[in-house]
Amino acid sequence: MKALMENRKTGRVHCPMCTHTVAADLELRGKRLRVAPGQKCPRCRASLDVAVIVQVPEAA
């Protein structure tokens, strides 16, 4: 059986409440990239569980 490796990156997400782009931790599970659960927006303290990922820093 394969062991699941969780990779975490820091990226930019769009907060649905205050409509600003803020930094958040992202989890890579298989081929899917999602916002790590339980995070809050640093500006308005809203949950980022449903935030849209805008930018993922990667080397070219």
Contacts of 56 (CB under 8 A, 6+ apart): 9, 11, 26, 33
Query: What is the reported pTM?
Result: 0.79
Q: How confident is the model at residue 5 (pLDDT cuts 50, 70, 90)?
A: low
Q: Which residue has the tokens 């449903």?
A: 50
Q: What is the pLDDT of residues 42-56, one digit of tens each?
A: 999 999 999 999 999
Q: Which residue has the tokens 């782009």?
A: 21
Q: Beta 32-35 vs 7-14: how paired, if at all?
A: unpaired
- Identify residue 42 by its one-letter amino acid code: P
- Give how far the C-alpha of residue 50 lies from the chain's centroid of Cα atoms, to the nearest Å: 9
